[in-house]
Amino acid sequence: MSYDILFASSNKNKFDEAKNITSKFGLKLKFLKLHLQEIQANTLEEIATHKAMQAFSICSRPVIVEDAGLFIKSLNGFPGPYSSFVLDAIGNKGILKLVSTQRCAIFRSVIVYCQEYDDVHLFSADVDGTISKKEQGKKWGFDPIFIPSGKNKSYSQLVDKNQISHRYLALKKFANWYLNKKRSSGL
């Protein structure tokens, strides 16, 4: 099967979601299963950039990585760039115990494209929302506890999540940029 770009991750759920989204733009992704180092840094951009350069150094082909973070306002943006670690450590139930009556949150996605070492392009998107009072639905990650603004269901319960999510918005920016770049270079 031919593909346009490798998607490096150890998370098959994330890849499946990204593949579904990018296919709507005519982009084909191929899963490159890698357990990349998850550095501890203050921004998603730093984490994703490190992963993209690490992935490129392994495969020497154009590659994208995605990193996402849940930023809860009442917790001063926690877990933010530490979302993966926090999800593994305390899970959604732990987050629900930490959140007070102020439930506002932002879900952010950062896509990093790398076609040469140290040559990266970043695409990010945020979705405002709230943290639910209990888990709703059974999908992966923070999807069961994040309710996007304007909706009354969690990401896990939404049929149209892949048309409105933070990951969709960031991948849409990337796909438009990549396809324009491809057209302008005559490929």
Q: Tokens at residue 93, please?
A: 């139930």
Residue range of the domain that includes 49: 5-184
pLDDT, tens digit (0-9, with 9 covering 90-100), for 132-170: 999 998 888 999 999 999 999 999 999 999 999 999 999
Which sequence positions are flagged as catalytic? 67
Distance CA 122, CA 65 (A): 10
The pLDDT of residue 140 is 85
Q: What percent of the chain has a predicted confidence (pLDDT) above 90?
A: 87
Is the predicted pLDDT of residue 67 greater than 70, yes or no? Answer: yes
Domain count, the chain: 1
Residues contacting 181, CB < 8 A, separation 6+: none
CATH of the domain at 160: 3.90.950.10
The pLDDT of residue 148 is 98
pLDDT class of 14 with cuts at 50, 70, 90: very high
More confident residue, 23 or 183: 23
